[in-house]
Structure formats: structure tokens, C-alpha cells
Amino acid sequence: VEANENCESSFFARFKDAGPARPVSQIRLYDQNPAGEWYWVTGWSDNGPTPACQAYAQLVEDSGAGFAHLIYGGLYGLRFKPIHIDEPWSLESPHQWGEAYLSLAGERDLRYTA
């Protein structure tokens, strides 16, 4: 992931696949609420007119934890917004933010795309 307007930090790493990548549309995060809250997630690309792209979850080997679910998107990372907010994906929205990637211990906090 290159540093960009969506996420300021860049991230370059290799992971060993432990399962296939699966499209994901929602993720539960615990940053704002200890009980967790669900958010929409999309990948973010360098395609100016339509930067939103598919986000994926993939089981990978993690040297510190054994296995983890790597959540990744486009060249410019991931973008999140609360599920109760009905608005288009936009860098201008105060309700949305970007991350380079996420790593989760389990898949209970993932909702896969049907």
C-alpha cells in the first residue's frame, strides 16, 4: 500500500497464504465501543473516478499469533464507514477513514460478501 490521501502510512509486507481470499463487505471494530460496532469496508484504488474496489479477507500465517485474517483492499488500502451512515464512499466525508490494512485473530468480526 502506497501512502496516499486515504491513508498516510504506507505498508509493504509479504504473508504466507493459509487459505483463499474471500470478498468481505463488513467488519466489526472495537476502537469506539468495547462491545464492537459494524462498519462497511471497501478497498481503495488509484482509479480517480471510481476508487472504491473490493476488500478481501485471507487467512495467513502470522509469526506472532500463528494465524490471522489479513484484510486488504486496493493499492491505496481500505476505507471504512459506519453501517448506519448512508452516503457514497468519499475522501471528503468526516464519517469515513482509511487504513493500509487490518489483521484480525478470528473471522467472527467479518461479514463476507454474498
Model pLDDT for residues 74-99, shown as the tens digit of each residue: 999 999 999 999 999 999 999 999 99
Per-residue burial over 27-43, b if 16 or more Cβ lie within 10 Å, else e, is bbbeeeeeeeeebbbbb
Global pTM value: 0.91
Q: Which residue has the higher pLDDT, 14 or 28?
A: 28
**What does the alpha-carbon distance between residue 43 and residue 63 come to, in Å, rounded to a whole number?**
25
The yes-or-no verdict on residue 64 having pLDDT over 80 is no
Q: Residue 95: its pLDDT value, please?
A: 97
Locate 9 and state its grid cell: 502510512
- Bridge partners for 77 per DSSP: 74
Q: Residue 65: its pLDDT value, please?
A: 66
User: Which residues have a Cβ under 8 Å from the Cβ of 102 and sit 6 or more positions away?
Assistant: 27, 70, 71, 78
